[in-house]
Amino acid sequence: MPGRRIAVVDRDRCNPKKCGLECIKYCPEVRMGVEDTIRLEDELLVIDEELCTGCGICVKKCPFSAISVVNLPAPIEGEEVHRYGVNGFTLFRLPLVRPRKIVGLVGPNGVGKTTSISILSGKIKPNLGRVNEYPEWDEIIRKFRGSELQEYLRKLSNGEIRVITKPERIDKIPEVVKGGVKPVLGRIDERGLLDEVLDLLDLREIKDRNISELSGGELQRIALAATYLREADVYVIDEPTNYLDVYQRMKAAKLIRRLQEEGKSILLVEHDLAVLDYLSDYIHILYGEPGVYGVVSYPHSTREGINIFLDGYLPDDNVRFREEPISFLQRVGSPDISENPVVVYSRLVKSFDGFKLEVEEGEVYAGEVVVAVGPNGIGKTTFVRMLAGDLKPSDGIVMTEGIRVSYKPQHVKPTYEGTVESLLRKVAGTNYSSPYFRSEVIRRLGIEGLLDRYLDELSGGELQKVAIAACLGREADVYLIDEPSAFLDVEARFAAAKAIRRRIQGENKAVIMVEHDLLTIEAAADRIMVFRGVPGREGHASPPMDPRKGLNEFLRDVDVTFRRDPDTGRPRVNKPGSKMDQIARARGRYYP
């Protein structure tokens, strides 16, 4: 249901000194004498939301594409919770915090998840949408009278509730925390559970290491351990699975479950739908215009909430927030796969630094996506780097002579000094101007708005999208893509999987991908390579196999079973010991 149409300004793009201010000159309201509709304030463009009619003329006149017109859904009028400045991002409604329950938040980046948890953890005092006023807590609490939030906010304002937050940006931990792993965790162990958490998260092997020496996955586990060790009433856990493999994700999930079993309330922000589904008791869907406004839905049961999110239509507000639903197909091989092998390799061996990887011989065919699955530290990235030519095998042959390779590494860093557009033009060449690249890569990945930005200005998710686009833009025979879903929200993960598949359709090309997100794996894979062994010591890789067989073997190793949702077809984790779990194990079908 549409509400008001308003124009909003992207302050990072707007440059009043260079444009001639045609947006103001041609605004019908200004020309009719309503001078405050669009104005300059402290050399920044301000559009009055009450006076603007959303006609869109200023959008066409702006040379920097800094102005856009958005539709605010009608049901949210008057439900503003917080606004960041004039024409700034506005959050409507708040999620609930329920006693002894896990409440999950799902939605794209930039629509208010971080703002929501910052308010509910006491880091931000909501201004109820009034930029130049600072309402007192009594007024804020009255705003939520009659809801479960009223009592929660009262206790929060009086300091009767203690909230502990696990941060999203775990890569920043070494900048603020110094020392060894065990001493650092020992200093914050308020619950006397240090030995228990070292075992739960497999941290004993790194307990004597320095925080500055840890990898991303190790830092994530340290952050989870630190959260678990502190005493609180409410735990806010922001994206706990980034950098973790599937084994580690399930252990992190068990840790979070333990908090709930101890009577704690938990707010969970997570983009891995399998983990979110497995843990949550209730779901809030967040939607809106990234960077402009965000709306928090009313709570739903876990299954219903995730299915609504996938469908893209929210009945509560009568709003379609995505043009098309996200669907799940049980892949049985792509019809575009040819019998022409693009990559052929013999049995490969790579030994270095006390680690040995053995890869069984195999072939990758034109038109297919092969996904490598397995724990961290088992050799997946090493295998990809051997195919890319970055590493030479100790034994065996990779037959890629004359084969063009495009490689996206696991860790993406902004080493290029120009804009996103100049980078893509440089690496893609003539492909950049092709209708395919514009629609299937740039538009599908949602990076049109990033083209004028410099790489060092981008967030982790934005940088990941650009790296995927750069990899797919190159003219190559095989695309090697390491962990494309890292830092991406749910919608972006499926968009990336579709863009990757579309890149090789009908072409004499192939993709080899490393991935940990099971739903992304299912969306992309034609065949699966399963990596087993002892992380950091030895690894063994199977040849590419049927995805159903490969994922069944992999999930047997992880010791977790899945079933399918009858409405959407999405895989759902079975709770250990449940009837569905027992049936799946008895049949030997860990993957449905």
Residue 56, CB-side half-sphere exposure with 13 Å CA sphere = 5
- Domains, the chain, ordered by start: 2-74 (3.30.70.20), 80-319 (3.40.50.300), 341-558 (3.40.50.300), 559-592 (no CATH)
| Beta strand spans in 2-107 (E) | 2-9, 38-41, 44-47, 67-73, 80-83, 90-92, 102-106
Give the model confidence (pLDDT) of 354-378 as tens digits.
899 999 999 999 989 999 999 988 9
pLDDT score of 63 more than 90: no
Between helix 216-229 and helix 246-261 the angle, nearest 10°, is 10
> Given this model, what pLDDT does residue 72 score?
61
Whether 3 shows a pLDDT value over 60: the answer reads: no
- Per the model's pLDDT, the better-predicted residue between 132 and 184 turns out to be 184
Q: 333 vs 93, which has greater pLDDT? A: 93
In terms of Cβ atoms closer than 10 Å to its own Cβ (0-12, 13-18, 19+), residue 79 is: middle
Q: How many CB atoms lie within 10 A of CB 133?
A: 9
Kindly report which listed range (47-56, 147-156, 484-493, 562-571) carries the lowest average pLDDT score: 47-56
Least confident of 224-238, 310-324, 357-371, 437-451: 310-324
User: Tokens 């053995």 correspond to what residue?
Assistant: 358
429 dihedral zone (left: phi>0; alpha: psi -120 to 50; beta)? left
pLDDT above 80: residue 45: yes
Phi, psi (deg, nearest 5) at residue 247: -60, -50
Phi/psi for 537 (5° steps) reads -125, -55
Residues 101-151 have pLDDT tens digits of: 999 999 998 899 999 999 999 999 999 998 888 899 999 999 999 999 999
Q: Using an 8 Å Cβ cutoff, are 378 and 354 in contact? A: no
pLDDT at residue 536 in the model: 84
Burial class (CB in 10 A: 0-12, 13-18, 19+), 519: buried
- Report d(CA 9, CA 13) in Å as an integer: 8
Rounded CA gap, 306 and 72, in Å?
23
- What predicted TM-score, i.e. pTM, was given to this entire model? 0.83
Percent of the chain with pLDDT over 70: 96
516-562: pLDDT as tens digits:
998 899 889 999 999 999 988 999 999 999 999 999 999 999 999 99
- Strand-pair partners of 268: 104, 237
Q: State yes or no: pLDDT of 58 exceeds 50.
A: yes
Task: Provide the mean pLDDT of the chain.
Answer: 89
Q: How far is CA 288 from the centre of its chain?
A: 16
Tokens of 222: 């340290």
Q: In terms of residues, how long is the chain?
A: 592
β-strands 300-301, 313-314 pairing: unpaired
Average pLDDT over residues 63-75: 74
Span 37-53, average pLDDT = 84
pLDDT tens for 397-451 read: 887 667 888 999 877 878 888 899 999 999 999 999 898 899 999 999 989 888 9
Closest Cα partner for 105 from 490, 434, 406?
490
What is the rounded distance in angstroms from the CA atom of residue 524 to the CA atom of residue 551?
Answer: 13
Residue 329 in this model has a pLDDT that exceeds 70: no
Mean pLDDT, residues 478-502 taken together: 91
Phi-psi region of 318 (alpha: psi -120 to 50; beta: other; left: phi over 0): left
Spatial contact of 284 and 103, defined as CB atoms under 8 Å apart: yes
What letters, b where the CB count within 10 A reaches 16 and e where it falls short, cover 283-313? bbbbbbbbbbbbbbbebbebbebbbbbbbbe
| Average pLDDT value for residue range 483-487 | 88
Given a contact cutoff of 8 angstroms between Cβ atoms, the answer to whether 163 and 227 are in contact is: no
Q: Name the strand (E) or helix (H) holding 254.
A: helix 246-261
| Residue 295 confidence (pLDDT) above 70 | yes
Q: What percent of the chain has pLDDT over 90?
A: 56
d(CA 141, CA 400): 66
Q: For residue 1, name the pLDDT band (cuts at 50, 70, 90).
A: very low
- What pLDDT score does 458 carry? 86
CA angle 193, 194, 197 (to 5 degrees): 85
Say what the pLDDT of residue 203 is: 93
